Amino acid sequence: MSESVNPLSPEEVAQFNETLATFNNTKDLSHAEALFHLLDRNRNGLLSREEIRIVMNQVSAHGFSDGEAQRFVETFDKNGDGQIDLREFVEFLRTKI
């Protein structure tokens, strides 16, 4: 059964895009926590496959399939709990630097 995930508001989409652009330009990991919290729609401190898929569909020009979200989680979920925590998310962003 799929979890219910509230999408980003228009203001949150703008904030996400601005924060991501700043990160991409500066490679400053201090923006990681802000990005993480925007993705963490249920505020439980973990990113589920569904949260990643919903938000990425809103902010990505090509969309994000369920399979892509699953592969993302499988790739960066280092502790094997099926979700991405802040530490794992920061490690993901480090691969982008």
- Write the pLDDT tens digit of every residue in 58-80: 998 888 899 999 999 999 999 99
- Write the pLDDT tens digit of every residue in 6-18: 999 999 999 999 9
User: For the residues 37-51, what does the mean pLDDT come to?
Assistant: 96
What pTM did the predictor assign? 0.88
Query: According to the model, what pLDDT value does residue 2 have?
Result: 57
Q: What is the DSSP letter of 62?
A: S
- Which domains are present in the chain? 10-94 (1.10.238.10)
CA 82, CA 57: separation in Å to the nearest integer?
20
